[in-house]
């Protein structure tokens, strides 16, 4: 069990009490929170979102978003689906190559 699709990132960043209550109870139960941080922000907003306990996000549409999320300890997935082709395939393959080289 866990808390999936914490899509309300504006309320997480805005410290909305009910949202933070859900996050706190999930963390208290030692469960995972998955996120939905869909804005191209790699600064304070992203840091606050990760600090709230969200551990992964499948909404990365730019290579720099993936890298920054990973640098802060978040599992990041690149979004390229049947409905949205946000991250160009070439950019995805370049990123995977860079990551593979870095971890080799």
CATH number of the domain where residue 95 is located = 3.20.20.140
Per-residue model confidence as pLDDT tens for the chain (104 residues) = 788 888 888 999 999 999 999 999 999 999 999 998 888 888 899 999 999 999 998 888 788 888 889 889 999 887 766 776 666 777 778 877 877 777 66
Task: Provide the number of structural domains found in the chain.
Answer: 1
Range of the domain at 60: 2-103
Where b means 16+ CB within 10 Å and e means fewer, 9-42 reads beebbeeeeebeebbeebbeeeeebbbbbbeeeb
CA distance 36 to 28: 21
């Amino acid at each position: 069990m866990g808390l999936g699709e914490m899509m309300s990132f504006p309320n997480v960043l805005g410290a909305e009490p009910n949202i933070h209550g859900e996050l706190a109870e999930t963390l208290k139960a030692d469960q995972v929170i998955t996120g939905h941080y869909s804005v191209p922000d790699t600064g304070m907003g992203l840091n606050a979102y990760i600090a709230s306990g969200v551990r992964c996000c499948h909404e990365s549409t730019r290579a720099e978003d993936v890298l920054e999320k990973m640098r802060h300890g978040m599992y990041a997935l690149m979004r390229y689906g049947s409905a949205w082709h946000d991250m160009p395939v070439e950019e995805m393959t370049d990123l995977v190559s860079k990551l593979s080289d870095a971890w080799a």
